[in-house]
Amino acid sequence: DTGVSQDPRHKITKRGQNVTFRCDPISEHNRLYWYRQTLGQGPEFLTYFQNEAQLEKSRLLSDRFSAERPKGSFSTLEIQRTEQGDSAMYLCASSFWDRGHGYTFGSGTRLTVV
């Protein structure tokens, strides 16, 4: 297993466009998390899944943000009508359900909205 994979690594988009990021978790992990990190700040929780169920989504930043994990494996995070304020690093993490092992983070997708 190569860890948590995120694609793409970098994305530059024009304001108003939609973007989608993909995350492939560690295969044995059944929980998957999305975070956003801006420069100089700690990661900010967005949403998480246990298998295919989205158990918390109230922290998504606006209704322009949505996430899916249709078959309980990979996940996508979509941002519609991007704004310059959406520029950030988007991190995905996965874990076992018991949380005792901590999270394993991917390398992130850096989004730049121009």
Minimum distance, C-beta of residue 60 to another protein, in the bound complex (Å): 13
Using the minimum distance from each CB to another protein, give the nearer residue, 37 or 80. Answer: 37
Query: Is 78 in contact with 19 (CB distance < 8 Å)?
Result: yes
User: In 10 A of CB 32, how many CB atoms?
Assistant: 28
Tell me which residue has tokens 């390398």: 107
By CB under 8 A, the residues from 18 to 47 that bind another protein are: 33, 40-45
Q: How do strand 5-7 and strand 19-24 relate by DSSP bridges? A: antiparallel
Using the minimum distance from each CB to another protein, give the nearer residue, 50 or 80. Answer: 50
Minimum distance, C-beta of residue 36 to another protein, in the bound complex (Å): 11
- How far is it, in rounded angstroms, from Cα 87 to Cα 12? 9
Positions in the binding site for another protein (CB under 8 A): 33, 40-45, 48, 56, 91, 93, 99-108
